[in-house]
């Protein structure tokens, strides 16, 4: 009985230590999730502010003579143009595939 009681006490100690560590890990995880959400909000807010500033500069509502700002605005315009071109290319590919399929379907119906 002495050995079993000793074993039970050791098991309870280990269980308590594991339980405490699990609680700590859970709290840290909660804090990390909260930090991640806050970081996402911060990023989105900076992005929204940047869009507003870029729009104001483009519409001459805000004057900002800084070489870096103008370089960034030029990069933004280049990216927008590239995205527009890519969208057009994707649409060309999509619709040409649909046209090819329609043509093949028509051809097979004629041959039937």
Burial per residue of 48-60, b for 16 or more beta-carbon CB atoms within 10 angstroms, e otherwise: eeeeebbeebeee
Domain that holds residue 89: 65-112
Percent over 90 (pLDDT), the chain: 77
Residues 73, 42, single domain; the answer is no
φ and ψ at 106, to 5 degrees? -65, -40
Residues 35, 56, single domain; the answer is yes
- pLDDT tens digit string along 67-84? 999 999 999 999 999 999
| Degrees, nearest 5: CA angle 50-82-40 | 35
pTM exceeds 0.95, yes or no: no
Q: Is the pLDDT of residue 1 over 60?
A: no
Number of domains in the chain: 2
Residues 5, 56, single domain; the answer is yes
What residues have CB less than 8 Å from 100, skipping those under 6 apart? none
Residues 55, 31, single domain; the answer is yes
Q: Which residue has the tokens 């103008």?
A: 70
Q: For the chain, what's the residue count?
A: 112
């Amino acid at each position: 009985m002495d050995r079993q009681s000793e074993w039970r006490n050791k098991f309870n100690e280990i269980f308590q230590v594991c339980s405490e560590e699990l609680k700590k890990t859970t709290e840290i995880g909660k804090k990390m999730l909260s930090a991640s959400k806050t970081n996402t909000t911060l990023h989105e807010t900076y992005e929204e502010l940047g869009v507003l500033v870029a729009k104001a500069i483009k519409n001459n509502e805000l004057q900002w003579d800084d070489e870096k700002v103008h370089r960034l605005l030029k990069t933004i315009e280049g990216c927008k143009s590239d995205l527009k071109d890519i969208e057009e290319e994707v649409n060309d590919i999509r619709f040409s595939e649909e046209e090819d399929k329609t043509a093949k379907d028509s051809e097979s119906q004629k041959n039937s």
